[in-house]
């Protein structure tokens, strides 16, 4: 308990110090944390609660190239409380389409392989499904003079599951379509940091 | 600015096309071959959407796709079964089969007239045998049923819904397995 408190205090101190430092150098890379809520869904489950993700991007010319890990969670209400964990590691490319001193607008394309874990303790049921995953995301970024930037995202997330006759015999349910809206924060690293 | 607008319009179009594609896709399902899940069956028989008088001009064809067809389906016996058995005993003439992954369910009828109601009917030895099989199974067991599908239109305010029931006559057409294999 004491160690957790110390780690938490140290993290807060580091983040506040970094956040208050005004930076004017060229941005080189960033790590980010985001949270989104699925608004539209076409899938067998039809009940996703939230999506949390983290990732790293490095600037290469005008593009941001990086990797991310997202997890979408859902749970059925009532007696059939089946839980679903949707784990999505991806490789991403971000393309800027508009930029000013205060805001940037980017499109993100991502490709990966996702794993879905479904389990129900009451019925002693568990299943694992997997398939390719792609994302198309619009990212509206608010630029601050601190280490942290904040952004809004709206994305379309598509998964095509591998064939498994026991899971479903219809191609319709092998497709998982999600449209989500969310917020995120990124911690920027500059060329100066790396020298 | 105009360029950006065009890009956004293009993106919205792409997303709309991808989202609408699954609704137009035609999946084929062999109903009497492998045991299908409750969700697969409900989607195949168009029970997961409302039919519209504007877009579904031929509801009869949709109904005929499933009506009177032999089907093999798998799922879990609904929790309510035991409560209903306490009230109706062996006069119970229907129960629900569920997909525990998403709570989809189908009504299974035990008498010949396809009415899943609790009106007094003659209890046959086969009906009692089916109920006994369910009573002797574990709640966690997967239930496999072979029966005849009954598909019909349920009118609503401005639209209608397709509903399905499954008729089961013989106790040999229902069995349970402890290894859940969705």
What mean pLDDT is reported for chain A?
86
Residues A62, B105: Cα–Cα separation, whole Å:
52
Count of domains in chain B?
1
The answer on pLDDT for A187 being more than 60 is yes
Give the three-state DSSP class for B162. Answer: strand
In a domain, B5, yes or no: no
Chain A residue at shortest CA distance from B6:
A97
pLDDT of residue A18: 47
In a domain, B144, yes or no: yes
B15 within 8 A of A136, measured Cβ to Cβ: yes
In a domain, B171, yes or no: yes
Cβ–Cβ gap A124/B37 under 8 Å: no
Beta bridge partners, A59, equal: A64
Q: If 0-12 CB within 10 Å is exposed, 13-18 middle and 19+ buried, where does residue A119 land?
A: middle
Give the CATH number for residue B167. 2.40.50.140
Cβ–Cβ gap B102/A46 under 8 Å: yes
List alpha helices for B57-157, DSSP H: 59-64, 80-88, 125-135
Residue the block writes with tokens 């709640």: B139
A137 within 8 A of A154, measured Cβ to Cβ: yes
Mutate to test the interface with A, among B100, B137, B140 (most CBs of A within 10 A): B100
Tell me the per-residue pLDDT of B20-53, one tens digit each, with 9 for 90 and over.
555 555 678 888 889 999 999 999 998 987 877 6
Average the pLDDT over A93-112 and give the result. Answer: 90
Q: What is the pLDDT along chain B (182 residues), one digit of tens a residue?
A: 566 667 667 766 766 666 555 555 567 888 888 999 999 999 999 898 787 766 666 788 888 889 999 999 999 999 889 998 998 888 888 899 999 999 899 999 986 655 666 565 677 788 889 999 999 999 899 999 999 999 988 888 778 889 999 999 889 999 999 876 77
Cβ–Cβ contacts within 10 Å for residue A59, how many? 17
Q: If 0-12 CB within 10 Å is exposed, 13-18 middle and 19+ buried, where does residue A55 land?
A: buried
The answer on pLDDT for A20 being more than 60 is no
Rounded percentage of chain B residues whose pLDDT exceeds 90: 38
Q: Which of B79, B103, B181 sits opposite A166 (nearest CB)?
A: B181
The answer on pLDDT for A78 being more than 60 is yes
Tell me the per-residue pLDDT of B5-19, one tens digit each, with 9 for 90 and over.
676 677 667 666 665
Cβ–Cβ gap A166/B182 under 8 Å: yes
Would strands B70-77 and B36-37 be described as parallel, antiparallel, or unpaired? parallel
B80-88 vs B125-135: helix axis angle to the nearest 10? 140
> Of A75-84, A128-137, B96-105, B113-122, which gets the smallest average pLDDT?
B113-122
Residue the block writes with tokens 């819904």: B161
DSSP state of A163: P
Give the three-state DSSP class for A28. Answer: strand
Q: How many beta-carbon pairs below 8 A join chains A and B?
A: 83
Between 2.40.50.100, 3.30.2130.10, 2.40.160.20, 3.30.70.240, what CATH number should domain A2-194 receive?
2.40.160.20
Say what the ipTM of the complex is: 0.78
pLDDT of residue B60: 83
pLDDT of residue A158: 95
pLDDT of residue B49: 79
The answer on pLDDT for A62 being more than 60 is yes
Average the pLDDT over A81-104 and give the result. Answer: 91
Mutate to test the interface with A, among B10, B22, B42, B73 (most CBs of A within 10 A): B22
In a domain, B12, yes or no: no
Q: If 0-12 CB within 10 Å is exposed, 13-18 middle and 19+ buried, where does residue B3 land?
A: exposed
Domain that holds residue B148: 31-177
Which segments of A26-82 are extended strands (E)?
27-42, 48-60, 63-75
Q: Which of A98, A122, A171 sits opposite B4 (nearest CB)?
A: A98
Contact residues on chain A for B7, CB-CB shorter than 8 A: 97, 107
* pLDDT classification of A81: cutoffs 50, 70, 90: confident
Cβ–Cβ contacts within 10 Å for residue A188, how many? 21
B108 within 8 A of B150, measured Cβ to Cβ: no
B91-94 contacts: CB < 8 A, separation 24 or more?
B91/B118, B91/B120, B91/B121, B91/B123, B92/B118, B92/B131, B93/B117, B93/B118, B93/B119, B93/B121, B93/B127, B94/B118, B94/B165
Chain A touched by B22 (CB under 8 Å): yes
Chain A residue at shortest CA distance from B24:
A172
The answer on pLDDT for A15 being more than 60 is no
Contact residues on chain B for A45, CB-CB shorter than 8 A: 101-102
In a domain, B96, yes or no: yes
Average the pLDDT over A140-153 and give the result. Answer: 92
Residues A161, A116: Cα–Cα separation, whole Å:
9
Beta bridge partners, A188, equal: A30
Cβ–Cβ gap A170/B27 under 8 Å: yes
pLDDT of residue A80: 82
Residues A157, A109: Cα–Cα separation, whole Å:
10
Chain A touched by B100 (CB under 8 Å): yes
In a domain, B22, yes or no: no
Average the pLDDT over A134-154 and give the result. Answer: 93
């Amino acid at each position: 308990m004491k160690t957790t408190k110390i780690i938490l205090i140290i993290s807060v101190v580091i983040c506040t110090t970094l956040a208050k430092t005004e930076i004017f150098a060229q941005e080189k890379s960033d790590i980010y944390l985001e949270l989104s809520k699925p608004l539209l869904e076409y899938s067998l489950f039809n009940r996703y609660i939230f999506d949390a993700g983290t990732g790293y991007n490095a600037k290469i010319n005008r593009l941001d190239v990086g990797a991310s890990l997202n997890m979408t969670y859902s749970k059925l209400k009532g007696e059939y409380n089946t839980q679903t964990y949707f784990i999505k590691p991806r490789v991403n490319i971000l393309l800027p389409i508009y930029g000013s001193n205060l805001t940037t607008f980017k499109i993100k394309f991502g490709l990966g392989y996702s794993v879905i874990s479904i389990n129900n303790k009451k019925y002693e049921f568990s299943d694992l499904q997997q398939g390719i995953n792609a994302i198309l995301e619009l990212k509206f970024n608010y630029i601050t003079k601190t280490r942290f930037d904040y952004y809004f995202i709206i994305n379309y997330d598509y998964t095509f599951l591998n064939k498994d006759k026991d899971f479903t015999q219809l191609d319709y349910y092998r497709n998982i379509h999600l449209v989500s809206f969310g917020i995120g924060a990124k911690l920027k690293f500059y060329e100066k940091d790396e020298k | 600015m105009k360029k950006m607008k065009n890009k956004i319009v293009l993106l919205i179009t792409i997303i709309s096309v991808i989202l609408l594609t699954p609704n137009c896709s035609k999946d084929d399902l062999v109903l009497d071959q492998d045991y299908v899940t409750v969700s697969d069956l409900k989607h195949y028989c168009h029970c997961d959407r409302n039919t519209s008088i504007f877009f579904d001009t031929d509801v009869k064809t949709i109904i005929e796709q499933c009506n009177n067809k032999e089907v093999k389906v798998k799922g879990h016996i609904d929790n309510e079964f035991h409560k209903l058995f306490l009230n109706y005993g062996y006069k119970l003439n229907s129960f629900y089969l569920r997909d525990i992954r998403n709570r989809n369910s189908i009504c299974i009828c035990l008498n010949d007239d396809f009415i899943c109601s609790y009106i007094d009917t003659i209890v046959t030895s086969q009906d009692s045998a089916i109920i006994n099989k369910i009573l002797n199974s574990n709640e966690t067991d997967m239930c496999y049923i072979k029966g005849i599908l009954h598909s019909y239109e349920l009118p609503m305010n401005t639209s209608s819904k397709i509903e399905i029931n499954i008729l089961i006559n013989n106790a040999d057409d229902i069995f349970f397995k402890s290894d859940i294999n969705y």
